Structure 1
Amino acid sequence: MGTGLRERKKIATRQALHEAAVALSIEHGVDKVTVEAIADAAEVSRRTFSNYFASKEEALLYGDQQRVRRLVSAVAERPPSEPPWAALTAAALEFQRDLGSRDPHWVTQVRLVRRHPALAAQQVSTYASMEDELTTEIARRSPASPMHARLMAAAFLVAMRVAVQVWLDRPKGTPLADVMHESLNDMGAAFR
C-alpha cells in the first residue's frame, strides 16, 4: 500500500528541513546557523520547523536517523538462521557500500559532528533511540537474554560509529569497508 499525499508532504518537509540544515551548516558553519535560517531556506515557518525537529542539531542529523533505520531494515532482511553478530556484520558491510551515493554530504556531516559537541550528543541520542529496534531484531535471532541482546545492539552501534571516526583519520583512499570490518571483528569477538 502506498503512502498517502499528506504523509508524503510530511516526509518531503522533514527532508527539506534536513537538507537546508546540512547545506547551511556546510556553507556558514554549524554555530552560525539558526532555526529561523533553516526554516527560511526550506520555505516553511519557524513553527513548522518545531513540528518536525526540536533543534537545529536534530534537523542536521536526521540523515543519521534514516541511515540507522535502513541499517536495522538490512539486518531484518538477513537470513533468519544467520547468527546475530554475523547478520549485523553482513548488513553493515552491505549498507556502507551505498552511504556516499545516498547522501553526498555524509562525510562532511560526519566531520561536522566531530567538531561540535552538541552534534555528537545528538548523534549519540539518535543511535540510542534506534537501539531498541536493533535489540528486538537481535533477540528475534537469538535465545540469549534480553540484556545480552541489548549489549550486542549497543556494541554494534558503537563499533559502527568508531569505524567511521577511525576511517576519517586513515590515509585518503582507505576503504571504509576495511575499517568497518576491522572494528566489527574486534567488537564481535565478545559475541561469538
Structure 2
Amino acid sequence: MGLRERKKTETRAALAAAALRLALEKGVDDVRVDEIAEAANVSPRTYNNYFPSREHAIVAGITATRALQVVEALRDRPSDEPLADSIIAAFAEQYREPPTEALALITSTPALREAYLDSVSSMEPPIAEMIAERLGKDLRGAEVLAAAVSAAARIAVQRWVDVRPSGLVVVQAASVEDHLREAIGHLAPALR
C-alpha cells in the first residue's frame, strides 16, 4: 500500500473510531458530523468524502476491522478443510468475546442496524475471491455465494445477540459458532 492509500485508510479509521467513541459517550442522536471530523482532526468536507452518514461512520469502526480479520482468517484455514467449516471458523473467531457495548449499540439502534447491514457487504468481494479460488468457480457464481454467506453470518449474529424492545441485550446460551454452524449449514451443499 502506497503512502496515499495508507493515509486514506488511517483517516477512515480515525473517523470511524471517533464516531463510535462519541456515539458511546453521547448517544447516537447527539453526535454531529462536525464533532466527528473535529475529533479526527479533519474537516467536515473531508469527512463527507469517507462516509455518507454518521451512522455509517459509527459502524465502520467495527465492520471494517472485522471484514479484514474474517478474510485473513479464511486465508489461514487449511486448504483441504471443507469450505463451509473454514467460513464458520473464520467468522466465529471474530465473535469469540461476548458482545461489546458497541455491538449492543449497533444491534439496538435501527439506523445503525441499517448502516451495519450496508457495510457488511464490504466483506463480500474478498470472500467471493476466496470462494472462487477454493472451489474453482467463476467469480460471478462466487459473488452470489459470498452474499449468501454474509447474510447467514448476519442472521447468526442477530440470533446470538438478542436485543429486546427495552434495549436489554441478551446473549443466547448457544455460542455464536453454534448459530453460525446452523445458518451457514444451509449453504453447505453450494460450498462443496
> Common fold, TM-score beyond 0.5?
yes
Aligned length: 184
Higher helix share: 1
Corresponding letter in the other structure for 1:155: A
Match 2:54 to one of 53, 56, 67:
56
Root mean square deviation, CA, Å: 2.9
Whether 1:127 and 2:120 are equivalent positions in the alignment is yes
Residues 109 and 187 (structure 1), Cα distance of their counterparts in 2 relative to 1, 3 Å cut: farther
Q: Look up the match of 2:155.
A: 162
Q: Look up the match of 1:82.
A: 81
Residues 92 and 23 (structure 1), Cα distance of their counterparts in 2 relative to 1, 3 Å cut: same
Corresponding letter in the other structure for 1:108: E
Separation of aligned partners in 1, 2:2 and 2:142:
35
Helix, strand or coil at the partner of 2:161: helix
TM-score by length of 2: 0.77
Q: Look up the match of 2:181.
A: 181
Deviations 1:20-58 (A, max 9, x none): 111111122212211011112223321232233232122
Asked if 2 retains the 8 angstrom alpha-carbon contact of 1:131 and 1:150, the reply is: yes
Unpaired runs of 5+ in structure 2? 163-169
Whether 1:20 and 2:13 are equivalent positions in the alignment is no
Q: Look up the match of 2:165.
A: none
| 1:113 Cα offset (Å) | 2.6
Corresponding letter in the other structure for 1:18: A
Q: Look up the match of 1:149.
A: 142
| 1:148 Cα offset (Å) | 4.4
Helix, strand or coil at the partner of 1:61: helix
Match 1:112 to one of 105, 109, 121:
105
Asked if 2 retains the 8 angstrom alpha-carbon contact of 1:134 and 1:153, the reply is: yes
Corresponding letter in the other structure for 2:180: M
Asked if 2 retains the 8 angstrom alpha-carbon contact of 1:18 and 1:61, the reply is: yes
Match 1:140 to one of 133, 138, 150:
133
TM-score by length of 1: 0.77
Q: Look up the match of 2:166.
A: none
Match 1:33 to one of 31, 34, 49:
31
Corresponding letter in the other structure for 1:17: L
| 1:137 Cα offset (Å) | 1.0
| 1:60 Cα offset (Å) | 0.9
Asked if 1 retains the 8 angstrom alpha-carbon contact of 2:67 and 2:122, the reply is: no
| 1:121 Cα offset (Å) | 2.6
Residues 13 and 71 (structure 1), Cα distance of their counterparts in 2 relative to 1, 3 Å cut: same
Unpaired runs of 5+ in structure 1? 101-105
Separation of aligned partners in 1, 2:158 and 2:72:
23
